[in-house]
Chains A and B, each alone.
Chain A
């Protein structure tokens, strides 16, 4: 999902650059407010970990592989804004040292993976975690958030890639991105979930066990009037996630309208029309038809959501019966 240089329209790159910079600036200020002795050390460690984890690929389909994005993992372990800074650090290293992800696309990549990944991911996971409660809640919330943020990020990516084109280009790109990332999202949810579960079983103190109080930095006697913000954001996030999947279907309508219009036009001036748009309009590539892709996307969305929920519930069973804390894994305190 790392967008390279020169692929984005320069105006989009500029706009997302500003958005990214603003978001990062706010995040840095928020982290500074909570800065303790060890904070940057831990953030650096988390960045190193996510960087390393992103190098491990898992197969997603023929010729396609995905890797962990890590936004939700970072957010759950360190908090939304620290998580975002962590992702920013990863992106910077990848860009400057390996050319992975363009310099001019840093803004867009950060918006997709840092802001959406960590901040919105945290906002999605917080109310679910509070609702289900306990360690099980942390696990299930993290997995669902991971799943949804991948979709949202894919959607944002599609928007950025097609922002200067027509709406049809948007839907075309969106369908493909959503379909591919539906599977990657499952992988993200699985990896995030299993890692979080592992941590909860061995070092639960590493994950902040207090009920999350929202996106504001944790201050003594937090501001209750801000509590509605994360709920709204998460609801929005979930809704958008759903929309990402369903909108390709919705685009049937305008296509349908245009199709009808064309038919009428045809009847008017006698030229044949091609009623079936293919993904790469000017190329004869043997790819499945767009409607098939769109339908597959919607199905993937539905199935994916159910699968993630079911799996996370199953994994979470480990915590239901957690009464006395299981054997603490002690390091040799010689």
Chain B
């Protein structure tokens, strides 16, 4: 599972990393909204935004190669969707089908990359604290905080179960039969519930009162 995104603290203390998480979050959201709201055909505006993004990518120290790889994965899907949706958009009559499709893909790419850069320069825990301070309801943030802690646990469980399954299966390939798939999912759910109860008990045993404190 691609969980490195959760761990990444942005160890390199670049200037962007040290900014308050709230500003980074708000900036990213504003950027995405600006990109999406840009009318179709306004290539100049998109170009400026793209340039800004490139600057940020440079400063943040994100690996361009990995960014492009992940983008490529989604680009195909987005292109297909764009092709399906574009004929119906009113802008199509004005700009032509090709422009509309390209516009959609370009906008999506900018927004997508911005989110990736945000994830790179802000640790998930800081992001959640920022959300909390920006007014996102506590219940939702607490759920997200627990989710983050449990994802590691789940990842380990899943890895262990996969290993155990592979040790006892004699077919090549990883196409899971239905039975196996749901058996694993069911076991994963059960073990996760048990684990969640234990982690929660351990937190309460050390006096946890509902708020997540942090040392910095």
Contacts and interface: CB of A to CB of B under 8 A. Distances in A.
Q: Are A and B close enough to touch in the complex, i.e. CB under 8 Å?
A: yes
B111 A198 contact: no
Interface of A: 3-7, 9-10, 13, 24-25, 28, 31-32, 35, 37-38, 40-45, 47-49, 51-53, 55-56, 58-59, 68, 85-86, 88-90, 92-93, 95-100, 102-104, 161-162, 164-166, 169-170, 173, 176, 190-191, 194-195, 198-199, 202-203, 206, 280-283, 331
Given A44-B145, A99-B112, 5 more contacts: A7-B81, A93-B144, A98-B5, A161-B81, A199-B186
A281 B29 CA distance: 35
A89 B137 contact: no
A282 B77 CA distance: 19
Interface of B: 1-2, 5-6, 29, 32-33, 35-37, 70, 74, 77-78, 81-85, 87-90, 97, 103-104, 107-108, 111-113, 115-116, 118-119, 124, 127, 137, 139-140, 142-151, 153-155, 158, 175-176, 178-179, 181-183, 185-190, 192-197, 199-200, 204
A244 to B, nearest CB: 17
B88 A165 contact: yes
A104 B143 contact: no
Q: Is the interface of B mostly helix, strand, loop or mixed?
A: helix
B84 A44 contact: no
B140 A28 contact: yes
B139 A97 contact: no
B142 A40 contact: yes
A203 B190 contact: yes
B90 A164 contact: yes
B88 A44 contact: no
A97 B5 contact: yes
B111 A104 contact: yes
Contact of B111 (A42, A44, A102): A102
B137 A28 contact: yes
Contact of A164 (B2, B81, B88): B88
Contacts of A51: 147, 151
Nearest to A53: B185
Between B139, B150, B190, the greatest number of chain A beta carbons within 10 A of the residue's beta carbon is seen for B139
Nearest to A167: B88
Contacts of A59: 175
A28 B137 CA distance: 8
B3 to A, nearest CB: 9
Contact of A10 (B36, B70, B197): B36
A93 B147 contact: yes
Nearest to A39: B139
Contacts of B33: 103-104
B139 A40 contact: yes
